[in-house]
Copies of this chain bind each other. A is one copy, B any other.
Amino acid sequence: MRRIAILAEGKLNWQDAKTAVGVLRYSSDTVVAVVDSTTSGQDAAVALGNPDGPGKGVPVVESVAAALDYAPDTLMIGIAPIGGRLPEPWRAEVLHAIHGGLNIVSGLHFFLADDPEIAAAARECGIQIWDVRRPADDIAMRIREDLPHRASSHVVYFCGTDCNVGKMTAAIEFDREARRLGLSSTLAATGQTGIMIEGSGIPADRIISDFLPGGVEALVLPRTEDYDWTFVEGQGSLIHPAYSAVTLGLIHGAAPDLMVLCHLAGRTHIRQYSVPIPSLSRMKEIYEQAAGWLKPAPVVAIALNTYTLPEAEALAAIAAAEAETGLPTDDPVRFGAGRLIRALVEATKHTVS
């Protein structure tokens, strides 16, 4: 059990601080403070816009120096900015943490351990740097072999209309609820936040293109031996102008039997791009096309992220998505994943896996 301070300077909002929100909500470690000078003095949950949500009771402080009062043993970089680089103003904060004796956990594309100044400080202070996005040697250059999954195991891929719509969150909620229901279930984490929460996984978007499906296969295949249900955290979107290749590598690497489509209610365009998001029915069709080139996998449920909506509107959005797609739809964070898991179990009765 670590005691974590999360660095989220200037970015402590729901969209930018995806890693912070995920760790606050799901990590078995203790988050002792969040660093953001623009919201310091608030409760982290309040700063994130939901006083009863993730971060309740966790103080926001103005600097790493202030966070040290809460006796953390680890500083975690709590954002995943487009491009993945360390914002320059954060360098001093990271160095301050290292000199304070904190280990560093980072999900940035830019590896902190490869930075000469940061690496030298780490050596000097005897602390560890975990660059979560660095692929492990055994999967960094592995070619996919197209090996079959154990018969009667079920692999579920969480596909999305866009980045940051709740794919990881949905996969975690499904896995936890499945285990509560007594199913043999595991999460296959594929992004930096999922890996930080789960303690294992692969940094899919950081793997060299030629080896991405091979890395995903190495992640999923042993889980299908040990568990009946493997819930695979998805990445990106097949209609994302920058990240669609990562998405396809995950789908063809994981070779799912079933898919769950994740969407953020109200989002109409790919974030930071002008690409319109088509209807959920069309997105279902797109994902089934791509999976079907190698192995058919129907989309059998919709996970609708309604966190921006009041409850009545959330229920209406869920009903509208059900009416449009004909698929069971729910918000697994808000209303639980139980109903959608029953839909998955039902689908396995009609699907050869």
Contact = CB atoms under 8 A, between A and B. Distances in A.
A335 interface: no
A249 interface: yes
Given A206-B210, A209-B212, A146 B293 contact: no
A13 interface: no
A130 interface: no
A246 B209 contact: yes
A141 B242 contact: no
A238 interface: yes
Contact of A293 (B207, B239, B245, B273): B239
A245 B209 contact: yes
A168 B253 CA distance: 26
B244 A249 contact: yes
Interface residues of A, number: 40
A175 interface: no
Given A206-B209, A293-B286, A252 B244 contact: yes
A248 B243 contact: no
A82 interface: yes
Q: How many copies does the complex hold?
A: 2
A219 to B, nearest CB: 14
Contacts of A213: 241-245
A235 to B, nearest CB: 9
A11 interface: no
A210 B246 contact: yes
Nearest to A142: B83
B248 A245 contact: yes
Contact of A252 (B84, B214, B241): B241
Contacts of A252: 241, 244-245
Given A207-B209, A208-B206, A208-B207, A239 B109 contact: no
Q: Give the 4 A-B residue pairs with the shortest CB-CB distance, closest first.
A: A245-B249, A146-B241, A144-B242, A205-B210
Interface of A: 82-85, 109, 141, 143-146, 204-210, 212-214, 238-239, 241-246, 248-249, 252-253, 273-275, 286, 289-290, 293-294
19 contacts: A84-B210, A85-B141, A109-B208, A109-B210, A144-B241, A146-B242, A205-B209, A206-B208, A206-B209, A209-B212, A213-B244, A214-B242, A238-B293, A239-B294, A244-B293, A245-B246, A245-B248, A245-B253, A290-B290
